[in-house]
Amino acid sequence: MTRQKILITGASSGLGAGMARAFAARGRDLALCARRTDRLEELKAELLDRHPGIAVAIAPLDVNDHDQVPKVFTELADALGGLDRVIVNAGIGKGARLGSGKLWANKATIETNLVAALVQIETALEMFHKSGSGHLVLVSSVLGNKGVPGVKAAYAASKAGVSSLGESLRAEYARGPIRVTVLEPGYIESEMTAKAGSTMFMVDNETGVKAMVAAIERETGRAVVPWWPWASLVRVLRVLPPRLTKPFA
């Protein structure tokens, strides 16, 4: 099935902007939202210049403003004449060692990556129920498979929550009409990973996004992306004793 009208949160940079470019190249109409409206404007102009046949609607959205999520989703859906797919992508990578006195950083990560994701999920599902179908995509992480020590403990927990929500929904909608995909990206070049510093097995943004979009288009239930080397590494990660997971953090 071709999903023509796609909403992406956190679309102003990184994986969100990369996916927008990839879907635009496939002729899809896009609804893009993020906090940084200047970047959204630039991205919209770029996409329409390269692909004048598509429609691009943009709107400012801080996903932690929970009341705004349904309003913005509805506005963007109206602008495109409906939505076929919603990609819950917005997230942050803040974090500190638990107990280090930086509760604010870990709290922000849990709130943005998990609580705000839940709000987006609820909103998208309500819209899909009204329209009769849809494809919900949740961007989790390979770190959602295992707790890791250090500064990424809260991040890993937030993504584990996203993956769990996705698994629950896959079971609930196993027969449709709503499709659910959980993506578990490895380390892909983006603003978030740049701030994290040198990371093992990093792939460039284009390679990572290409793998993500391919999995989304197949409407795979759950996918580690890119497949190499991360599918094998995730199997190792799942069985490692917690004390040995530090290299992934």
Is 155 considered catalytic here?
yes
- Letter for the amino acid at 216? I
In this structure, is the dihedral angle defined by the CA atoms of residues 168, 192, 247 and 201, taken in order, positive or negative? positive
3-state helix, strand, coil in the chain (%, to 5): 55, 15, 30
**Residue 239 above 90 pLDDT?**
no
User: What are 58's strand-pairing partners?
Assistant: 32
Active-site residue identified among 23, 73, 128, 155:
155
Q: What is the pLDDT of residues 205-235, one digit of tens each?
A: 899 999 999 999 999 999 999 888 888 888 8
> 249 near 150, Cβ under 8 Å?
yes
Parse the chain into domains and list their residue ranges.
Answer: 5-248
- The reported pTM is 0.93
Token digits for 36? 């940084």
Q: What is the pLDDT of residues 150-168, one digit of tens each?
A: 999 999 999 999 999 999 9
How far apart CA 127 and CA 85 sit, in angstroms, is 10
pLDDT at residue 234 in the model = 84
Q: What is the pLDDT of residues 99-131, one digit of tens each?
A: 999 999 999 999 999 999 999 999 999 999 999
From 1.10.10.10, 3.20.20.60, 3.90.1170.40, 3.40.50.720, which CATH number describes the 5-248 domain? 3.40.50.720
